[in-house]
């Protein structure tokens, strides 16, 4: 078997013939020629049999490694005159437009980036982390389903930090499918307006419920004319309960500072480490945390009242209550919180009264961003790897690959290797 025939079967590149193979030091260069005679625009797919000219130097792409050798694909390409994009280099079937990596190598880097840390990916594939980010952008640009916004009825909106210094992404999650369907840089109302613009008027009318946090920016966008005229706005129970949990944690910190200033540090030592005993669900406590919570209960005081109010508020969402029953319990809780003489809970009660209808909508329609937050746990893990990215588009591409509707396959999973 000739070496060119062997490499044609080994690389399994569509639409090309291997014309020569050059072995160098740790590099194998494979020269290929396109089978087709017609020229294709890489941007719009326009085809023509007339060429503008031929590039004087060959183009090169990095391919999957062959053992310890790097593999480079090399081809001499023609240029065509596209009516829309002008004079461009013809498209090749084995690489995406503007890439110096083959599609197989792009897919491998994108798949690894969602499952490995950046140091491991860069070391294994012998590329820079910025190269991985650009590969993720290309994969999402070609593999993202253009019809993913069809059939949206219940959505959740949330923001997540993808890098330090207050850099955020706004994500839209489909509650029914459990995946991220849209994302953009930023977290203000203008960012969410872009989603409704892309969604269009007809599809916006199909929205039945939108769950979001208590921030005014997203609420302003959802209430805008033509955005979600038939949708019920629901306050996300996760963020509402978290607000009460933050109030409890603030009471705990104030008590901890008071105990530290006492002449006898015995009380401060006993109270140290009580944060998770107070914030965790009672069923999830360890034996040590349960014992510590029992000590706090015996001492009573403001910290125990704060813990009781936190659990009472959680119970409003835990039970199968009607809207009227939930409204009665919520009003009782707000009244007790305002009489508690605990500043964080007084502030929380004012917020609950202000967003009362949104909270009751969530209970009535049974919609929650719990699935969104479950995805956010996965998204946060993914975005930790994006700290090496300096582009929000690359970070968003990584999120869409890891938690979106894209089910990326590895090269050996989507191709059938021909038998000899």
Dump pLDDT digits (tens) for 254-312. Answer: 988 888 888 877 777 777 778 888 988 888 888 888 888 888 888 778 899 999 999 99
Question: 140-149, 166-175, 271-280, 403-412: lowest mean pLDDT where?
Answer: 403-412
Q: Say if residue 245 is in the same domain as residue 355.
A: yes
Q: Report the b/e string of 73-108 with b at 16+ CB within 10 A.
A: bbbebeebbbeeeeebbbbbebbbeebebbbbbbbb
Coil, helix or strand for 77? coil
Q: Mean pLDDT throughout 153-177? A: 85
90: which DSSP letter? P
Task: Evaluate whether 135 touches 106 at the Cβ level (below 8 Å).
Answer: yes
Beta partners for 234? 211
Q: Say if residue 230 is in the same domain as residue 105.
A: yes
Question: Residue 327's pLDDT is what?
Answer: 92
Q: At what angle do helices 343-354 and 301-318 cross, to 10 degrees?
A: 20
**What is the band of 27 on the pLDDT scale with cuts at 50, 70, 90?**
very high
The CB-based long-range contact list for 384-389 (8 Å cut-off, 24+ gap) reads: 385/113, 385/116, 385/117, 385/118, 386/133, 386/162, 386/163, 387/163, 387/164, 388/118, 388/129, 388/130, 388/133, 389/129, 389/130, 389/133, 389/162, 389/163
Residue 39 has pLDDT above 90, yes or no: yes
Q: Say if residue 43 is in the same domain as residue 88.
A: yes
Q: Say if residue 142 is in the same domain as residue 286.
A: no
Condensed to tens digits (0 to 9), the pLDDT of residues 216-260 reads: 899 999 999 989 999 999 988 888 888 999 999 999 999 888 888
**Is the pLDDT higher at 413 or at 202?**
202
The CB-based long-range contact list for 109-117 (8 Å cut-off, 24+ gap) reads: 109/135, 109/136, 110/135, 110/136, 110/139, 110/140, 110/397, 110/401, 110/408, 111/401, 111/408, 111/410, 113/385, 113/398, 113/401, 114/382, 114/398, 114/401, 114/402, 116/385, 117/385
Q: Could you give the percent of the chain with pLDDT greater than 70?
A: 94
Residue 73 has pLDDT above 90, yes or no: yes
Condensed to tens digits (0 to 9), the pLDDT of residues 177-198 reads: 888 899 999 989 999 999 999 9
Q: Determine the distance from the C-alpha atom of residue 85 to the mean position of all C-alpha atoms in its chain, rounded to a whole number.
A: 33
Q: Say if residue 112 is in the same domain as residue 48.
A: no
Count CB-CB contacts under 10 A for residue 391. 16
Coil, helix or strand for 79? strand
Q: Say if residue 382 is in the same domain as residue 349.
A: no
Question: Residue 264's pLDDT is what?
Answer: 77
Task: Evaluate whether 261 touches 269 at the Cβ level (below 8 Å).
Answer: no
Task: Evaluate whether 337 touches 349 at the Cβ level (below 8 Å).
Answer: yes
Residue among 187, 189, 154 at smallest CA distance from 173: 154
Which strand ranges, in their side-by-side order, compose the sheet holding 27-34? 16-23, 27-34, 69-75, 59-66
Mean pLDDT highest for which of 1-15, 159-173, 380-394? Answer: 1-15
Residue 417 has pLDDT above 60, yes or no: no
Residue after which a domain boundary falls, among 51, 84, 100 = 100
Q: Mean pLDDT throughout 147-169? A: 85
What range defines the domain where residue 411 resides?
A: 101-235+368-420
Which strand ranges, in their side-by-side order, compose the sheet holding 78-82? 53-54, 78-82, 86-89
> Would you mind telling me the total number of residues written for the chain in this entry?
420
CATH number of residue 130's parent domain: 3.30.420.10
Residue after which a domain boundary falls, among 100, 130, 151 = 100
**What is the band of 420 on the pLDDT scale with cuts at 50, 70, 90?**
very low
Question: Residue 38's pLDDT is what?
Answer: 92
Q: Say if residue 267 is in the same domain as residue 408.
A: no
Residue 419 has pLDDT above 60, yes or no: no
Residue after which a domain boundary falls, among 44, 73, 100 = 100
Condensed to tens digits (0 to 9), the pLDDT of residues 358-377 reads: 999 888 877 755 555 566 66
**What is the band of 108 on the pLDDT scale with cuts at 50, 70, 90?**
very high
Count of domains forming the chain:
3
Residue 89 has pLDDT above 90, yes or no: yes
Q: Could you give the percent of the chain with pLDDT greater than 90?
A: 45
Question: Residue 2's pLDDT is what?
Answer: 87
Q: Say if residue 168 is in the same domain as residue 122.
A: yes
Q: Say if residue 175 is in the same domain as residue 33.
A: no
Q: Is 351 exposed, middle or buried (0-12, 13-18, 19+ CB in 10 A)?
A: middle
Return the structure tokens found at 14: 């569509």
CA distances from 50 to 37, 238, 293, 339 (A): 10, 60, 80, 82
Residue position matching structure tokens 């929650």: 368
Coil, helix or strand for 18? strand
Q: Say if residue 182 is in the same domain as residue 323.
A: no
Residue 418 has pLDDT above 70, yes or no: no
Residue among 59, 94, 12, 98 at smallest CA distance from 412: 12
Q: Say if residue 192 is in the same domain as residue 173.
A: yes
Q: Say if residue 389 is in the same domain as residue 287.
A: no
């Amino acid at each position: 078997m000739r070496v060119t025939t062997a490499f044609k079967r080994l690389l399994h590149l569509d639409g090309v013939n291997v014309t020569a193979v050059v072995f160098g030091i740790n590099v194998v260069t494979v020269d290929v020629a396109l089978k087709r005679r017609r020229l294709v625009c890489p941007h719009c797919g326009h085809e023509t049999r007339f060429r503008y000219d031929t590039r004087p130097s060959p183009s090169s792409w990095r391919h999957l490694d062959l053992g310890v050798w790097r593999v480079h694909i090399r081809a001499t390409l023609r240029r065509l005159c596209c009516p829309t994009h002008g004079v461009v280099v013809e498209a090749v079937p084995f690489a995406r437009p503007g890439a110096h990596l083959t599609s197989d190598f792009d897919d491998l880097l994108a798949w690894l980036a969602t499952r490995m840390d950046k140091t491991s990916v860069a070391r294994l594939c012998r590329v820079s982390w910025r190269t991985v980010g650009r590969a993720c952008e290309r994969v999402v640009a070609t593999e993202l389903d253009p019809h993913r916004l069809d059939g949206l009825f219940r959505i959740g909106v949330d923001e997540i930090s993808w890098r330090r210094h207050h850099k955020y992404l706004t994500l839209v999650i489909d509650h029914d499918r459990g995946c991220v369907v849209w994302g953009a840089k930023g977290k203000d109302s203008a960012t969410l307006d872009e989603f409704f613009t892309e969604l269009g008027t007809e599809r916006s009318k199909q929205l039945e419920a939108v769950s979001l946090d208590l921030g005014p920016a997203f609420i302003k966008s959802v209430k805008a004319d033509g955005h979600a005229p038939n949708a019920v706005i629901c306050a996300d129970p996760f963020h509402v309960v978290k607000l009460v949990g933050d109030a409890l944690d603030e009471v705990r910190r104030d008590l901890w500072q008071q105990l530290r200033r006492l002449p006898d540090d015995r009380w401060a030592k006993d109270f140290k480490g009580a944060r998770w005993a107070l914030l965790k669900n009672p069923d999830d406590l360890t034996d040590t945390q349960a014992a510590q919570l029992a000590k706090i209960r015996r001492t009573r005081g403001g910290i125990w009242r704060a813990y009781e109010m936190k659990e009472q508020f959680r119970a409003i969402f835990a039970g199968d209550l009607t809207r009227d029953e939930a409204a009665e319990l919520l009003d009782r809780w707000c009244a007790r919180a305002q009489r508690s003489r605990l500043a964080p809970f007084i502030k929380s009660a004012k917020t609950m009264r202000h967003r009362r209808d949104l909270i009751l909508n969530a209970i009535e329609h049974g919609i929650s961003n719990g699935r969104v937050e479950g995805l956010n746990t996965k998204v946060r893990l993914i975005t930790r790897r994006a700290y090496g990215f300096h582009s929000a588009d690359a970070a968003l591409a990584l999120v869409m690959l890891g938690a979106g509707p894209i089910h990326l396959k590895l090269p050996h999973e989507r191709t059938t290797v021909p038998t000899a």
